C-alpha cells in the first residue's frame, strides 16, 4: 500500500544520561502518530527486532529501512545537565550510516509529503529526487552540515516548501543575530515557510505576504518534568508533517495547527526517556493537550 | 493629586554599548504609559534636568524622587554582545543610592497599586510599609539580592500579590530546573501570581486553582532589530501594572491582558537605545501591537 508521507533520516540507538536517569540502547528518532508514513534509513544487524516490531505496530512502513549485515547501527552517546536545551555529545559512531545511500521502495515514490531529517544535504537531495509528485517538502539540518557543507544546505533549502531549523543553527548559517532576519533569508531562497525551533521556548513560523513578513508564535508546553529532550525536534517534525499528510491541507491556517500538533507531540516526547512516554499516550491525550495549548494563550 | 500607582526603584544613568551602537548618560528605568504613577527613588545633582522634565511631561509624579546634593546618581555601565539576553556589567556605582531610604510623599500613600523594583528587599519592605490600602503589590528582584539576602527576598515575596522574576533568577532562588516547579514554590509563599520573564522568549504567568497549577504563555514580539534590551524588564512591569491601575481589575483574565501590554511596552523599549523609542510611540501604536499579539498566536 502506498505511503502518504516519507521520512528520510538516521535511525539510531542512543545511550542517554540526564539529571533524572540514564538509558542505554534506546530507539532514537521520530515516531509519527497521524498518517501512514514510510521510513527511509539504515540499520545494522545489532538493531533490536522489538524496535522494528514496535514501529510496524504503530502503522509505520519500514520497507525503506535497509539492514546491513556485519555492520552496526548508528549510535549516539550523550548527556544533558540542568540546561536541557543543550545536548552534550560523548561519542557518535556512524557505523552502517557511513556508506548509506537512500533508495526508496516503489510504493514510497508517490508520497505527497516528505520530511528530510538532518542527514547530509547530498543524501537529502538524492532521496528527494526519487519522489515524483511532491506536494510539501520539509527540510531539517544541523550544525555539523552547516560547518562542513553550507552550500549543500543552502541548495537543498531551495528545493523545500518549508525549512526547519533551531535558533542557533539559523543564526549560524546566516551570520545574523535576529531570527526575523534569518527567516527572511530562508524565505528569499524559495521556501514558503521558515520554522525556527527554540526548544523549551516553542517555535516560530514565518511566511511572507507580498513584502511583509508574517509570523506565528507557537509556545512549548511548560513541563513540570522534562526527563529527556532527545528527539523532541524530530517528534515536532513528525507530528507536524503527519498532521499535514492526514489533513491534506497546506494552507497557512492549517500549517499553524500542524505546528501546534508538532509541539504537542514534542512535549509528550520530552516527558520520558527515548520514546517511552510515546508508547503510552493515546489520540485523546493528544487532543486534550492540543486544547490546552489554546487555553494557555487565550487573552 | 493622589497617585494610583507607586513605583519604587533605582533611578540611574546608563552607559550602554551593543553591537548596534553606544550611548552615554541615558535615563534608565521604566516609563509608564497608562496611569498616574508616582516614582520613589534617589538621584544626585548630576542628574540631567531634561530627564526629570521628560518624566513630568509624561504625566509621572516625581515628588517621591529625592535629590541629594553633592552626590552623584546611581550609574550602570554595561554592554551586550550578539546574545542580547545577557547583559554584561563593566561597572556599577551606587553613589547616592548607597544611603537611600525610601520616604513616600503623603499623596502616594493611598495608591492601590505598587511595584517594588529590584532594589534590596529591606528597602522594598520599608517602602511597602508606608502604603495604607494596597490592592495589588508586585515585587521584582535580581541575582545580587538572591546571593546576598535570600531570606529577605523570600520574606518580601510573602507580602506580594504577584512576584516577577526572570527564568535564571527563579531557578537560582529555588535550586530547581523546571520553571513550573519554581512557580509552585512562589505560589506556596502566598502570592496569587508568579510571572517568569524569559527575555526574547516572552513570559509565563502562573496561578493556582485548588491544587492545579494553571499557566498563561505570553510571547515576546519577535523583533527584526533589537537595539538595546536594557530596561525591557522594567518596561514590562510598568506596562503591566500601569494597565492594571488604569482598569482597576485584578481578575485573572485582566492580568493576562496586562501581561500582554507589558510585553508590548517591552518590545517598543528594545527597539531603541534607552527610552529613545518610547519618546515617539503613541497609544495607537500600543493598541496596534496589542492586536498583532493576538494575530501572531491565533490558530
* Nearest chain A CA: its distance from B125 CA (Å): 32
| Pairwise CB contact (< 8 Å): B256 & A296 | no
Minimal CA separation from A222 to chain B, in Å:
7
Q: pLDDT at residue B32 above 70?
A: no
> Which cell is B127 given?
517602602
- Which range of A219-223, A273-277, B14-18, B241-245 scores highest in mean pLDDT? It is B241-245
pLDDT for B142 beyond 80: yes
Q: Do B215 and A222 touch (CB under 8 A)?
A: yes
Nearest to A201 among B19, B201, B226 (CB): B201
Contacts of B224 (CB under 8 A, 6+ apart): A178, A180, A181
Retrieve residue B72's grid coordinates.
552623584
- Flag if A217 and B215 touch (Cβ within 8 Å): no
Q: Helices (DSSP H) in A4-130: which residue ranges? A: 49-57, 121-128
Out of A19, A198, A224, closest to residue B201 by CB = A198
- Selected residue of B180, B229, B299 to mutate for chain A interface (largest A Cβ count, 10 A): B299
pLDDT per residue as tens digits for the range B192-208: 999 999 988 899 999 99
Compute the nearest-CA separation of B46 from chain A (Å): 36
pLDDT in tens, B213-257: 899 999 888 777 677 777 778 889 989 999 999 999 999 999 999
CA distance A93 to chain B (A): 31
Q: What is the mean pLDDT of residues B268-290?
A: 80
Distance CA(B195)–CA(B197), nearest Å, equals: 6
A224, B178: Cβ pair inside 8 Å?
yes
The domains of chain B, with CATH numbers, are 5-295 (3.40.1190.20)
Closest Cα in chain B, distance from residue A263 (Å): 13
Cα distance between residue A296 and residue B215, in whole Å: 6
Distance of alpha carbon B136 from alpha carbon B160, whole angstroms: 8
DSSP-assigned letters across all residues of A271-296: TSSTTTGGGT--HHHHHHHHHHHHHT
Which of A172, A221, A297, A298 would you mutate first to test chain B, the one with the most B CBs within 10 A? A297
Interface check for A201 against chain B (CB to CB < 8 A): the answer is: yes
**Residue A268: is its pLDDT beyond 90?**
no
**Is the CB of residue A170 less than 8 Å from the CB of residue A182?**
yes
Q: Does A1 touch chain B (CB under 8 A)?
A: no
Q: Say whether A296 and B84 touch across the interface (CB within 8 A).
A: no
pLDDT in tens, A92-144: 888 998 899 999 999 999 999 999 998 999 999 999 999 999 999 999 998 88
Interface contact B185, partner A, CB < 8 A: no
> Which chain A residues are Cβ-neighbours of B171 within 8 angstroms?
82
State the CB neighbour count (10 A cutoff) for residue B151: 8
* Average pLDDT estimate for A165-175: 92
Q: Does B181 touch chain A (CB under 8 A)?
A: yes
- From chain B, pick out residues whose CB is under 8 angstroms from the CB of A259: 299
* pLDDT at residue A80, rounded to an integer: 78
Q: Name the closest residue on chain A to residue B261, using Cα atoms.
A: A299
Q: Which residue of B has its CA nearest to A261?
A: B299
Query: In this complex, do B299 and A256 lie within 8 Å of one another by their Cβ atoms?
Result: yes
Chain A CB within 8 Å of residue B82 CB:
yes
Distance CA B82, CA B259 (A): 26
**Which pLDDT score is estimated for A144?**
87
Distance from C-alpha of B164 to C-alpha of B158, rounded to nearest angstrom: 13
State residue A229's pLDDT score: 74
pLDDT at residue B58, as a whole number: 81
Q: How far is B10 from chain A (nearest CA, A)?
A: 30
- Interface residue A177 vs chain B (CB under 8 A): yes
Higher pLDDT, residue B181 or B88: B181
This model of the complex carries an ipTM of 0.74
Kind of pairing between the strands at A203-209 and B12-18: unpaired
Percent of chain B with pLDDT over 90: 54
- Set of chain B residues whose Cβ sits within 8 Å of the Cβ of A216: 296-299
pLDDT at B82 over 80: no
Report how far residue B141's alpha carbon sits from residue B194's, in angstroms, rounded to the nearest whole number: 13
- Asked if residue A297 lies in contact with residue B297, where contact means CB atoms within 8 angstroms, the answer is yes
pLDDT at B35 over 70: no
Amino acid at each position: 500500500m502506498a505511503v502518504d508521507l516519507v521520512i528520510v533520516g538516521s535511525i539510531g540507538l542512543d545511550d542517554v544520561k540526564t539529571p533524572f536517569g540514564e538509558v542505554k540502547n534506546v530507539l532514537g528518532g521520530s515516531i509519527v502518530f497521524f498518517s501512514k508514513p514510510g521510513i527511509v534509513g539504515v540499520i545494522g544487524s545489532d538493531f533490536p527486532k522489538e524496535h522494528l516490531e514496535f514501529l510496524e505496530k504503530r502503522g509505520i512502513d519500514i520497507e525503506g529501512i535497509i539492514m546491513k549485515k556485519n555492520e552496526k547501527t548508528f549510535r549516539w552517546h550523550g548527556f544533558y545537565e540542568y540546561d536541557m536545551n543543550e545536548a552534550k555529545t560523548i561519542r557518535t559512531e556512524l557505523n552502517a550510516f557511513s556508506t548509506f545511500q537512500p533508495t526508496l521502495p516503489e510504493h514510497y515514490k508517490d508520497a505527497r509529503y516528505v520530511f528530510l531529517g538532518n542527514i547530509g544535504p547530498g543524501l537529502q537531495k538524492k532521496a528527494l529526487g526519487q519522489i515524483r509528485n511532491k506536494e510539501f517538502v520539509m527540510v531539517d539540518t544541523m550544525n555539523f552540515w552547516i560547518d562542513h557543507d553550507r552550500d549543500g544546505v543552502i541548495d537543498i533549502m531551495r528545493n523545500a516548501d518549508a525549512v526547519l531549523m533551531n535558533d542557533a543553527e539559523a543564526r549560524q548559517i546566516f551570520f545574523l543575530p535576529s531570527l526575523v532576519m534569518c527567516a527572511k533569508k530562508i524565505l528569499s531562497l524559495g521556501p514558503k515557510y521558515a520554522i525556527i525551533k527554540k526548544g523549551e521556548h516553542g517555535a516560530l513560523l514565518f511566511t511572507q505576504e507580498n513584502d511583509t513578513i508574517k509570523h506565528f508564535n507557537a509556545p512549548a508546553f511548560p513541563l513540570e518534568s522534562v526527563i529527556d529532550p532527545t528527539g523532541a525536534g524530530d517528534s515536532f517534525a513528525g507530528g507536524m508533517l503527519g498532521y499535514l499528510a492526514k489533513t491534506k491541507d497546506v494552507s497557512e491556517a492549517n500549517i499553524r495547527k500542524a505546528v501546534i500538533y508538532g509541539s504537542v507531540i514534542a512535549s509528550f516526547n520530552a516527558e520520558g526517556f527515548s520514546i517511552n512516554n510515546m508508547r503510552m499516550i493515546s489520540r485523546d491525550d493528544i487532543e486534550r493537550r492540543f486544547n490546552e495549548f489554546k487555553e494557555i494563550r487565550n487573552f
